[in-house]
Structure 1
Amino acid sequence: MHVTASGDDKVAVVGPRERQIDAGPGPNAIRLTPDGRHAYVANTGAGTVRVLDIRTDDVLKTIQVGVDALALAMPNTPDVMRAARAGSERHDPDPTGSHL
């Protein structure tokens, strides 16, 4: 299970391998890819979405979406993630170059 810890700017991983991953300023939403390999984290404090590799805890990409990144959704298209922010929306293809 992955949970945003906004006050610590982390994603907390709860389970057999408990740990915290640097998520960027003000993480408030997280969405795992269907295969569980990547996590997208909306950072309200930075206006970004960070793409994390769940196996290595590495930040793969930081996507600028503007102020108040509030929520994330993955539509039926497997290589697109949508980030909602106050007043608009942005989508970005898979940062790894392969289908998620």
Structure 2
Amino acid sequence: MKITLIASYLRLEEYMLPCFSKQILGFDCPGCGLQRAILFLSKGDFLMAFKMYPAIYPIMLLFAFLAMNKFFTFKYGNQVISSLMILSVATILINYVLKFI
């Protein structure tokens, strides 16, 4: 069982998409690190996932709330979704700016 899990993680790393922005222009795009952060999350390394892409947790909260909102109605659902979207975009932009400093 453990060997198959390790093999599946190795296969995930083989199929990761390269960042064309980084290859062509020479600098990271705002989404650089997202795939690796998801890989670290699947391995259970939550701190490394945050270090790789800090916006992973607000994005996960947003998707989780969107899924729950699909099945249940919340009184202030639209405000929560808007707030989580703003938090996600702000985290992405702040991380992107801090990469260049």
* TM-score, length basis structure 2: 0.25
> Counting strand residues as a fraction of each chain, which structure ranks higher?
1
* TM-score, length basis structure 1: 0.25
Find the structure with the greater CA-based Rg. Answer: 2
Structure with greater contact order relative to length (CA < 8 Å, sep ≥ 6):
2
